[in-house]
Structure 1
């Protein structure tokens, strides 16, 4: 993770000490949740593997329809994300998405790339949500949108919020407002 942090100097380094601590706690919460306590580097449910190839993209899915499943600490997925992250990081992740599960530095780089540059189904990046005051709930929206927010999976949202509250207590800061999406 230390290697990956050099590319995103604003991560957990923007705003007040409380804002910085909240952002670090939010990122660690999602990494903990998605990887089941940092035990898994790839998505467990193999039934989802074939669902994460968007054929409408001009570059398609050259590594195969089932190659773009979730990997890394925030379970980064979809061919368009592998393409964009690879381009940004100078890696051929579209043709070799397995690099994310083989190389821990690449796994953390893709997670931080997504956190800092992509809003996913949300309206802002997770970094913007935390440093701009929108709160933890908007990071859930940016990562999983309708899958969890707006009644999609309230149990999952509640679990993420409980983990976030626990982690903010560990790092010694209040969780702030805007906890749910």
Structure 2
């Protein structure tokens, strides 16, 4: 598996403003909850719950935590729990859910109001992950008017069935939903030009990803001996996560502290301080790959996105990702591996490969 190496400092990357954390406030809107929304977890004695958590008690009824508590009994501790109407009967549920707080522990079934004013329900326990980014941990929750995020303009030219066909042996970490959730960060990706160009760009990105990860199998760089080598101590911000923390991760195998800093700043995620997000959150992983693809030229002369949109061809995407190690006859077998995957993927998408496949 090839590893992304970038040996020059990047130009300044525009920083995306991180989402603000708002202290809990009360909402006044009310709504009913559909029967489909009654899929809440069973109450567990001694388990930590936070305000807004909804549970199914042993009597088959539902209760909502009015205050944080360490697993108190909903029948006995009525100051901590209120009955929650679900699928008819009881109190009318309201949208009085607490605001999401970054870094706060949440458990499955917890409902929060995000900074965009919409509601999200925790599908899995998590230590305060961002509901917009961590889509495996959170789902939109309808409360007092829709919460479903707007679709990606024009949709995505690769269907889930085609994605699965491209990567039949992929690691379950690399989800299709994680990829599509990440697309909103760079809406021009695979969404510029003709239908042919859109499909070619999607195929080109996924072909390079295929090569970097061994068919979407590897989440992290396999040679652990390299891990301590990716800390550029000349950078003013240093390596706060540790000297050996910035090894290759994700679909493009992001490495080096300055790459994590630049990608994190662009995406509004603290990747310099917590690079492990790239290996534990599929959407974040895909976003780092799209960040590189759409904004960085690496050892090449243009971004891979521009190479495909402007007709420079697939070969220029190779040059921008690993050209200093592969192009110009340095490693033709690696180049051929990428080209073979690209040809296979455009075939799956039903389009042509275009010109200039090699670098």
Confirm or deny a common fold (TM above 0.5).
yes
> Residues 62 and 152 of structure 1: is their aligned pair in 2 closer, same or farther, counting only changes over 3 Å?
farther
Question: 2:299 is matched with which residue?
Answer: 121
1:66-85 to 2 correspondence within 5 Å? 66-85=244-263
What do residues 20-61 of structure 1 show as CA deviations (whole Å, max 9, x unaligned)?
Answer: 110000011111111111111111121222232222221122
Higher relative contact order (CA 8 A, sep 6+): 1
Whole-angstrom CA distance in 2 between matches of 1:146 and 1:64: 28
1:20-169 to 2 correspondence within 5 Å? 20-169=198-347
Whole-angstrom CA distance in 1 between matches of 2:353 and 2:248: 27
**1:148 CA displacement:** 1.1
TM-score (norm 2): 0.49
Secondary structure of residue in 2 paired with 1:6: helix
Structure 1: segments with no counterpart, 5+ residues: none
Whole-angstrom CA distance in 1 between matches of 2:326 and 2:231: 21
Asked if 1:6 is matched to 2:199, the reply is no
Secondary structure of residue in 2 paired with 1:61: coil
Whole-angstrom CA distance in 1 between matches of 2:303 and 2:290: 11
Whole-angstrom CA distance in 1 between matches of 2:254 and 2:353: 25
What do residues 51-88 of structure 1 show as CA deviations (whole Å, max 9, x unaligned)?
Answer: 32222221122222221111111111111110011111
Whole-angstrom CA distance in 2 between matches of 1:114 and 1:44: 21
After TM superposition, the structure 1 stretch with the greater mean CA deviation from structure 2, 54-63 or 113-122, is: 54-63
Asked if 1:16 is matched to 2:194, the reply is yes
Higher-strand-fraction structure? 2
**Which structure: larger Rg?**
2
TM-score (norm 1): 0.96
Secondary structure of residue in 1 paired with 2:185: coil
Secondary structure of residue in 2 paired with 1:146: helix
Whole-angstrom CA distance in 1 between matches of 2:232 and 2:328: 24
Structure 1 vs Structure 2 CA RMSD = 1.1
How many residue pairs were aligned?
Answer: 181
Whole-angstrom CA distance in 2 between matches of 1:65 and 1:49: 8
Structure 2: segments with no counterpart, 5+ residues: 1-178
Higher-helix-fraction structure? 1
Whole-angstrom CA distance in 1 between matches of 2:243 and 2:357: 35
Secondary structure of residue in 2 paired with 1:67: coil
